[in-house]
Amino acid sequence: MLILAIESSCDETSIAVVDGNKILSNVISSQFVHSKYGGVVPEIASRAHLRIINEIYHQSLKEATVSIENIDAIAVTNQPGLLGSLIVGVNFAKGLALKFNKPIIPVDHIEGHIYSGFLEDPTLEFPAIAMVVSGGHTAIFKADSFNQYTTLGLTRDDAAGEAFDKISKLLGLGYPGGPIIDKLAKLGNPQAFNFPRTMYNSNDYDFSFSGLKTSFKNFLEHNYDNHPPKEIIPDLAASVQSAIVDVLIKKVFAASDEYNIKNIVIGGGVSANSFLREQAFAKAQAENKRVVFPAITLSMDNAAMIGFLADKKLSELGGDAFRDFTFICGANSLRSKYPKKKKINLINKNY
């Protein structure tokens, strides 16, 4: 079944055409306009989606060499995310579905990330522990099947990517901060400074990264009057990166131990981090576990993961189950949408 999927929840406009786990196109346009503000500005993001979405749509069909008439269903991210950004994608999707008389399948963005490892590697088996680490989310899930998953833990405040971004801003390094810190850290010593690893020993799967940002800010203020000398920037980058990665690795492997699950998937923008990858692969090898990092284009926000999940729903329920155009966009916080320890039935979930 051919699915045209649309993703616009944050600052990437993406449209993909997928056929099961075959990706025919996955066009992703990132909005660089936010870099001068040090973070995503919601109003600018929604306007940028609006400007480019039609072009991305045509490009995606062209790359896939299919026409809209041959598409079996439209899929779209409807939650969670920036409301104005979600509205652009959802209304574009609804317009297409109405005009061309196609079923429309709303997909949860986080669920897209959770299952992206199965799109990357079809040999990966359930159950799996899935960690989603991005600018907006940091969470650990236990995925039992394409129909069922459980939330094990969530960040209580900032996401890991947000910590990278805010610390980069404090150092005047630019946005997004993750790739910049990653690069600089390669030249530095991760043990040069000791920054807090909040909740490292909390015996649960929750995270908290806002304290690290505050501690880093205070450190710069007290020691360097906010202007650290250039030569220590790589050591600062390596030390702060190590504080973030240590907590991520500890929690995701602890979940794998507790539930006796050897398959681990790490997705979301922060999963591009080279130190995180290095640590995860080394630990997996030592503990005889399997860790899958989706390719960058499937880790960052992308429409292919949305189409892939929509295909599972469509195969299970059939097109007639997706003729409801009244679903809305949800910007709710992760904590209310993904209750801990409660099994979520994904296919029959009420959107």
Contact 341, 31 (CB under 8 A): no
Q: Does 136 bind ligand KG4 (CB under 6 A)?
A: yes
Nearest to 190 by CA among 234, 239, 232, 236: 239
Q: Does 165 bind Zn ion (CB under 5 A)?
A: no
Distance set, CA 290 to CA 265, 284, 287, 332 (Å):
8, 6, 9, 33
Which lies closer to ligand KG4 via its Cβ, residue 87 or residue 185? 185
Q: Which stretch binds ligand KG4 (CB under 6 A): 84-92, 171-179, 212-220, 338-346?
A: 171-179
119 binds, among Zn ion, ligand KG4, none (CB under 5 to 8 A by kind): none
Distance in Å, CB of 12 to Zn ion, minimum:
8
Contact 10, 89 (CB under 8 A): no
Binding mask 254-273 for ligand KG4 (x = CB under 6 A): --------------xxx-xx
Contact 140, 130 (CB under 8 A): yes
111 binds, among ligand KG4, Zn ion, none (CB under 5 to 8 A by kind): none
Binding mask 99-138 for Zn ion (x = CB under 5 A): -----------------------------------x----
Contact 152, 140 (CB under 8 A): yes
Q: Residue type at 34?
A: H
Q: Which stretch binds ligand KG4 (CB under 6 A): 42-50, 178-186, 205-213, 319-327?
A: 178-186
Distance set, CA 127 to CA 2, 130, 146 (Å):
27, 10, 10
Which lies closer to ligand KG4 via its Cβ, residue 12 or residue 61? 12
Which lies closer to Zn ion via its Cβ, residue 77 or residue 239? 77
Please give the full DSSP string across 234-263, using - where no structure is assigned: HHHHHHHHHHHHHHHHHHHHHHHHHTT--E
Nearest to 290 by CA among 271, 265, 257: 265
- Rounded to whole angstroms, how far apart are CA atoms 254 and 258? 6
Which lies closer to ligand KG4 via its Cβ, residue 84 or residue 103? 84
Q: Does 301 bind ligand KG4 (CB under 6 A)?
A: yes
Residues in contact with ligand KG4 by the rule CB under 6 A: 10, 134-136, 161, 164-165, 176-179, 182, 268-270, 272-273, 300-301
Residues in contact with Zn ion by the rule CB under 5 A: 134, 301
